[in-house]
Amino acid sequence: MRYQTELYVKKRKKNKWIALFIIILLLWGTAVITDYYITTYRNEKPIFTILDQRTTTDDTGSSKYIGLGYTVELEGNLDDNSTQVDSLDFYLFGMLLKHIDNE
């Protein structure tokens, strides 16, 4: 009887880890899809990323945003008041997923 109880506990712990992994994967996917939609269709800055200070240029507002597994490179007039995007590159795991030229 004790052996069956130990197997049940191990199986239950395994199921909890699988559920946690699926939840984290769904949250990550939601962040990627949200940023993809916001940048490509609404021409706005991504929400779930951080700004890479090394590649930001002050004169044009072009910048690179880094997320978990994806990168967004925006070029254009990206002031606080204006969000005119001239060019956009969306990379997922280093592969170019979408390129937009609005020039």
Residue 45 burial by CB count (10 A; 0-12/13-18/19+): exposed, middle or buried? middle
Q: What is the pLDDT of residue 56?
A: 64
Residue linked to tokens 């490179």: 73
Domain boundaries, the chain: 2-101
3-state secondary structure of 49: coil
Q: What is the pLDDT of residue 79?
A: 64
Q: What is the pLDDT of residue 60?
A: 59
Is 0.85 topped by the overall pTM? no
Low-confidence residues in the chain, pLDDT < 50? none
Q: What is the pLDDT of residue 22?
A: 97
pLDDT in tens, 13-23: 888 889 999 99
Q: What is the pLDDT of residue 29?
A: 96
